[in-house]
Structure 1
């Protein structure tokens, strides 16, 4: 489409990351106009010539308010760096700050989480990604939550997408495929309100997105966890600060 005013826009949070960069490309391929939320505009201009850029920081709620204004489609691919508290500050705190900055706006959101989000038996698994998922569900926003497996561990002949629920799937997936699934989930009705794990196995990639998303169970409205998730992190056992955040998000969504 040549008229950008008629082209749906998608705001990509984490655009300069290794998945976010692919999301910029995937958005264009899907007929969307990417808009990249970045901290460093000069760096982003080199990466994304011709792409709309907006400067903001996930740890700065004030900067997010302006950046999110008018967004109707949002992809969140942000991920915590190696610092000990980064999961709480970035994975979780970033989601909390975005929801706060949105106010009464009701965009559709695709969130990249982790294939281990609900696993308590995996050493080093990050509970903050699951907590971020729960904030998004508690908000009541239209959402799709994608839990990819190991980045770029797939062999060249492993391109067949596998989408499952229940928290037991494990395996590799290409970064470009993660990005494509995130973008396509925003514009495919059968992906609405669903949470799933994502890997690739031997075979060709499918192109019928409705057929991929349709068999999945929808998250139940009002539930904190995704459909078929193990019930191994009761809300009552969470720290008071986490429960307070959930309560605030629920109030804002009503």
Structure 2
């Protein structure tokens, strides 16, 4: 990551994490753009100084104006735990954005979920595929897998970053974190060199929130450029056995990255 980004597109800006991400990005001095489907609703929910671009993640032909001139993207969109919803909205939306970039490099922060690598969980596998596309895109990135939103106690604000995705009960026992802290980590990652190529599970422990996250990010193992999966994950999803939809998206994004580097 050679420079701090200046113009950030937030995908999912009107959602419960997205609104916090917008506020944090503005607080940190970024120019903020939001891809929204409903302009009137977005205007009610977001500050006036956020640039609203009308488009639909599931309709690639509407995405172009949203990605023009940006140098960072924060993905906070999310639907349900239905495999169909996650595949057709969360995963497809991210794939469409990456393909619209056509290999142009941007800084990416992606929110998925703790337990993404749980074996046999269909919706989680589509989140994992989203992560794989980001790693294959050739962009600098940080992938954040938060624990359960806002289940933390008031004094439980110490930010903890884990790796290996070993907490897989599917309950708050896996870890908890406040929504505003998720947003803070996503936005902080855009400017911190130590956050580049890192995948982490994000939870909170008892204690005060840290002022600077550089040391915590620095302690993490970076993802390998030679792998589609996170550095300390255990994953059994061979690429040649993956759905055709994913393999086609992977090939398109890799081709765009190669073309941009020529």
Q: Is the 8 A contact 2:11 2:76 kept in 1?
A: yes
Structure 1 CA distance, aligned partners of 2:61 and 2:51? 20
Q: Is the 8 A contact 1:118 1:229 kept in 2?
A: yes
Provide the residue aligned with 1:236 in structure 2: 240
Correspondence 1:145-224 to 2 at 5 A: 145-169=143-167, 170-224=174-228
Provide the residue aligned with 1:86 in structure 2: 85
Structure 1 CA distance, aligned partners of 2:245 and 2:54? 29
Structure 1 CA distance, aligned partners of 2:34 and 2:141? 19
Q: Is the 8 A contact 2:10 2:75 kept in 1?
A: yes
Counterpart secondary structure, 1:45: helix
Deviation at 1:33, TM superposition (A): 2.4
Give the one of 27, 30, 33 matched to 2:28: 30
Aligned residues: 247
Deviation at 1:84, TM superposition (A): 5.1
Correspondence 1:51-200 to 2 at 5 A: 51-81=50-80, 85-120=84-119, 126-169=124-167, 170-200=174-204
1:124–1:247 Cα change, 3 Å = closer
The farther-off stretch of 236-245 and 127-136 is: 236-245
Deviation at 1:124, TM superposition (A): 6.7
Structure 2 CA distance, aligned partners of 1:129 and 1:84? 10
Q: Is the 8 A contact 1:116 1:125 kept in 2?
A: no
Q: Which stretches in structure 1 are left out of the alignment for 5+ residues? A: 1-6
Superposed CA RMSD in Å reads 1.6
Deviation at 1:231, TM superposition (A): 2.6
The farther-off stretch of 241-250 and 149-158 is: 241-250
Deviation at 1:249, TM superposition (A): 1.7
Please list every run of at least 4 consecutive aligned residues from structure 1 whose deviation after the TM superposition is greater than 4 angstroms: none
TM-score when scaled to structure 1? 0.92
Write the deviation string for residues 157-206 of structure 1: whole angstroms up to 9, x where unpaired: 11011101101142000000000000000111100111111000111111
Structure 2 CA distance, aligned partners of 1:125 and 1:148? 16
Structure 1 CA distance, aligned partners of 2:38 and 2:125? 28
Structure 1 CA distance, aligned partners of 2:175 and 2:68? 37
Deviation at 1:125, TM superposition (A): 5.5
